[in-house]
Structure 1
């Protein structure tokens, strides 16, 4: 599934921020954003944005939370081994 990515023109802590199209921050500051494109992987979107701007970090509210949500899987409990008598 491809996501649409935007980058902020203004800097925050000396970095530009990469946002997803579903981000609340992007919705509030559309005038300050530039469309980067639609990509399936965050790494590609970061590479394209770093070609245009030197210091870019992903948004902790939309991009990083989504990645952590997708990577977190329920832990599987170890299955006990039942030994049969000889």
Structure 2
């Protein structure tokens, strides 16, 4: 993995985590936490979407959309675990 792809993954994760934090109304974890949630959310969505037969497409906007949906799912699950 090249350095530029790591930077791109962190930037897309940061944007996706920020959007997911806004969509989930206050369930964000700050800047660093949102980056982590965005990156992990992209990984989660990468596992779930192909199993469901859902394709988002290619490009930066599709990557942000993909990672945001995964981050929202991740924040929802974390919220359920926190309540238990």
- TM bucket (normalised to shorter chain) is under 0.3
Output the TM-score relative to the length of structure 1. 0.23
* Structure with more relative contact order (C-alpha pairs < 8 Å, separation 6 or more): 2
- Structure number with the higher strand fraction is 1
Larger Rg: 1
The TM-score with structure 2 as length reference comes to 0.24
